[in-house]
Amino acid sequence: MKRVVSISLGSSARDYRFTTTILGQHIEIQRIGTNGDIARAGELIHEYDGAVDAISLGGLTPVFRVGAARYPHQEAIHIASKAHHTPVVDGGVLKNTLERWAVAQAARKSPDIFRYKKILLTSGIERYQLAAALAQHNAKLRFADPIIHSGLRFLPPPRSLAQLELYAATTLPITALLPYRLLHPVARGQEGHDPRAEGLFMWADVIAGDFAFIRRFAPESLAGKTIVTDDPSPEEIDDLRRRGVTTLVTMHPPLVSADGSPCPRPFVSTDMLEAIIVAIQETSHQPGEAEALDFIAAANWGPTVQDLNPRPKPKFAFVIHPLRTSMIAKDPHFRWTRYMPQRLVELVAAQFPPIYLSKIRGIRSASTGEETEGILLTLGATPREMMRRPPAFTYRRLIKAAHMAERMGARLMGLGAFTSVVGDAGLTVAQKVEIGITSGNSLTVAATLEAAKQAVLLMKGGRPEHVRAVVIGATGSIGAVCARLLAQAVRDVVLIAPRAERLLALKQQIEHETPGARVIAATHPDAYIGDADLIITTTSALTGKVINVDKLKPGAVVCDVARPPDVKKADAARRPDVLIIESGEIMLPGAPDFGFDIDMPPGTAYACLSETALLAMDGKYGDYTLGRNIEMDRVKEMYRLWQKHGLKLAGLRSFGVYVTDEMIAEKRRLADERRKKLGLPTEHPVVG
541-551 per-residue burial string, b: 16 or more CB within 10 A, e: under 16:
ebeeebbebeb
Look at residue 687 in the predicted model and tell me its pLDDT: 37
Output 253 or 543, whichever has higher pLDDT: 253
Cβ contact 452:534 at 8 Å = yes
Please give the average per-residue pLDDT across 94-100, as a whole number.
94
Task: Kindly tell me if the per-residue pLDDT of 655 is higher than 60.
Answer: yes
pLDDT above 60 for 269: yes
Tell me the three-class secondary structure of 336-362, residue by residue: HHHHCCHHHHHHHHCCCCCEEEEEEEE
Output the CA torsion 232→238→242→244 (10° steps).
50
Question: 103-141: buried (b, 16+ CB within 10 Å) or exposed (e) per residue?
Answer: bebbbeeeebbbbbbbbbbbbbbbbbbbbbbbbebebbb
Q: What is the largest CA-CA distance in the chain?
A: 114
CA distance 495 to 479: 9
Residues paired with 355 in a beta bridge: 378
pLDDT at residue 688 in the model: 36
Residue 97 has pLDDT above 50, yes or no: yes
- Indicate the pLDDT class of residue 573, thresholds 50, 70 and 90: very high
The residue that leads in pLDDT, 210 or 425, is 210
Find how far residue 424's CA is from the centre of its chain. Answer: 21
Confidence of residue 574 (pLDDT cuts 50, 70, 90): very high
Tens digits of residue pLDDT in 504-533:
999 999 999 999 999 999 999 999 999 999
The predicted structure's pLDDT at residue 245: 96
CA distance linking residue 344 with residue 464, whole number of Å? 51
**Rounded mean pLDDT, 266-284:** 93
- Give the C-alpha separation, 33 to 5, whole Å: 11
Mean pLDDT of 445-460: 90
Residue 85 DSSP SS3: coil
pLDDT(685) > 50: no
Query: Which of the four pLDDT bands, split at 50, 70 and 90, describes residue 456?
Result: very high
> In the prediction, which pLDDT does 535 show?
95
Q: What confidence tens digit (pLDDT) does each residue in 16-63 have?
A: 999 999 998 999 999 999 988 889 999 999 999 999 999 999 988 999
What pLDDT score does 568 carry? 87
pLDDT band at 112 (very low <50, low <70, confident <90, very high): confident
Cα–Cα nearest to 8, from 229, 231, 182:
231
Q: Which of 103, 109, 60, 311 is nearest to 208 (CA)?
A: 103
Q: Who wins on pLDDT, 9 or 229?
A: 229
Query: 477-490 and 632-645 are packed helices; what angle lies between their axes, rounded to 10 degrees?
Result: 80
pLDDT confidence of residue 661? 92
- Report which of residues 336 and 504 the model is more confident about: 504
Band of residue 582 on the pLDDT scale cut at 50, 70, 90: confident
* pLDDT for 190: 53
177 with 83: CB under 8 angstroms? no
Q: Is 453-586+652-677 CATH 3.30.310.80?
A: no
Name residues whose C-beta falls within 8 Å of residue 572's C-beta, 6 or more positions apart in sequence.
Answer: 549, 578, 580, 654, 655
* Lowest mean pLDDT segment, chosen from 239-248, 316-325, 437-446, 541-550: 541-550
Average pLDDT over residues 239-264: 90
- Would you kindly state where each structural domain of the chain is located, as residue ranges? 2-90, 453-586+652-677
Share of the chain above pLDDT 70, in %: 97
User: 189 pLDDT exceeds 60?
Assistant: no
The dihedral through the CA atoms of 668, 671, 677, 680 has a sign that is negative
Residues 601-610: tens digit of each pLDDT: 888 998 999 9
Residue 31 host element (H or E)? strand 25-33
Distance CA 96, CA 269 (A): 14
Average pLDDT, the chain: 90
Question: Looking at residue 393, what is its pLDDT?
Answer: 94
| In contact, 328 and 345? CB cutoff 8 Å | yes
pLDDT band at 347 (very low <50, low <70, confident <90, very high): very high
pLDDT, average across residues 298-307: 94
What is the pLDDT confidence band of residue 372, given thresholds at 50, 70 and 90? very high
Going by the DSSP 8-state scheme, the letter that residue 665 receives in this structure is: H
Q: pTM, whole model, 2 decimals?
A: 0.67
For the segment 140-167, the average pLDDT, to the nearest whole number, is 90
**pLDDT tens string 117-138:** 899 999 999 999 999 999 998 8
Residue 333 has pLDDT above 90, yes or no: no
The pLDDT of residue 673 is 92
Give me the mean pLDDT over the 337-365 stretch.
Answer: 90
d(CA 36, CA 12): 9
pLDDT band, very low/low/confident/very high, at 614 (cuts 50, 70, 90): very high
**Residue 188: what pLDDT?**
53
